[in-house]
Amino acid sequence: MEDRLRLIQWLSPAFPIGSFAYSQGLEQVMAEGTIRNAADVEVWLRDVLRFGSPQMDAVFVAQAMAGADPDMLSDLIRALASSAERDIELMEQGRAFTALMSEIRGENVSIRPYPVAVGLALRGLDVTVGEALALFLQGSAAQMISAATRFLPLGQSQAQAILARLAPLIAGIATRAAATPLDEIATFTPGADMAMMMHETLDVRIFRT
C-alpha cells in the first residue's frame, strides 16, 4: 500500500516538476486554429497517445524499471527526440524530478531524461509495471488537457470528461508498452512533431513546448 501511494504521488500531475509549462506542441496547433474545441482536443490526444512520444516514453519507463542500463536509455531517448523542444522537455522535467527524488530519499540522484528518471525511481517499489505505465500515461494526457484548458474555451467539466474517456485507451497502451522491446519502439506523429518544431519560433508563447 505504501509503495502504491508513492507511485501515485510521484506520477501525479500535481508533483512539482513544472509539467504545467509544457504543451508538447499543442500550443502551436491551438494558436493556428487547427485545435479549436473539446472534440478537436480529444482527437489530437488519442492520436498522440497511441502513435506519439507518450507511448514511446512509457516503453522507456518500463525498460528502466526492468533494469536496463540508464546511460544507454538516456542516450537513446535523446537521440530519438524529434526536435530541440522535445529534448528540452525531456531534460528539464527529468532534472526537476531527480532533484525532488534527491530531497525525498536523502541521496544524490543523477539527472536523467524524465521517463528514464521515473523508471529508475520506481525500481524496488512493490507495484506492477502496468499500473506504473498507466499512471505515467495518464499524467501525460492530463498535462496536455491542462494546456488546452488554459488556452481554449474548454471548461473543467469537459476536460475531466475527456480524461475519463481516455482511460480504456491509456490502459491498453500501458499493457502494450510493458511488453515492447527497445528495438520495436517507434512513433509516427509528423503533425505533432512539426508543431513542436514550429513552436520554437511562435511569437507569443504561454508554454515552453
Q: Are 141 and 58 within 8 A, CB to CB?
A: no
Q: How confident is the model at residue 21 (pLDDT cuts 50, 70, 90)?
A: confident
Q: How confident is the model at residue 199 (pLDDT cuts 50, 70, 90)?
A: confident
Asked whether residue 2 carries a pLDDT value surpassing 70, the answer given is yes
Candidates 1.10.4190, 1.25.40, 1.10.3470, 1.10.10; correct CATH number of 2-8+38-197?
Answer: 1.10.4190
Tell which wins on pLDDT, 24 or 174. 174
What is the per-residue pLDDT across 187-197, written as a single tens digit (0 to 9) for each? 999 988 898 88
pLDDT of the residue at 184: 96
| Helix-, strand-, coil-residue percentages of the chain, each rounded to 5 | 70, 0, 30
pLDDT of the residue at 195: 87
Give dist(CA 65, CA 132) in Å, integer. 10
Q: How confident is the model at residue 201 (pLDDT cuts 50, 70, 90)?
A: confident
Q: What is the mean pLDDT of residues 24-30?
A: 89
pLDDT of the residue at 39: 96
Q: Which residues contact 190 (CB under 8 A, 6 or more apart)?
A: none
Q: What is the mean pLDDT of the chain?
A: 93
pLDDT of the residue at 200: 78
Domain borders along the chain are 2-8+38-197
pLDDT of the residue at 204: 65
What is the per-residue pLDDT across 90-127, written as a single tens digit (0 to 9) for each? 999 999 999 999 999 898 989 999 999 999 999 989 99
Q: Which residues contact 139 (CB under 8 A, 6 or more apart)?
A: 11, 12, 13, 19
Work out the burial of residue 202: count CB atoms within 10 Å of its CB; fewer than 13 is exposed, 13-18 middle, 19 or more buried: middle
Helix axes 84-105, 70-79, angle to 10 degrees: 150
Give dist(CA 197, CA 85) in Å, integer. 7
Which three three-digit cell numbers place residue 185?
519502439
Q: Are 182 and 63 within 8 A, CB to CB?
A: yes
pLDDT of the residue at 18: 86
pTM score: 0.95
pLDDT of the residue at 40: 95
Q: What is the mean pLDDT of residues 24-31?
A: 89
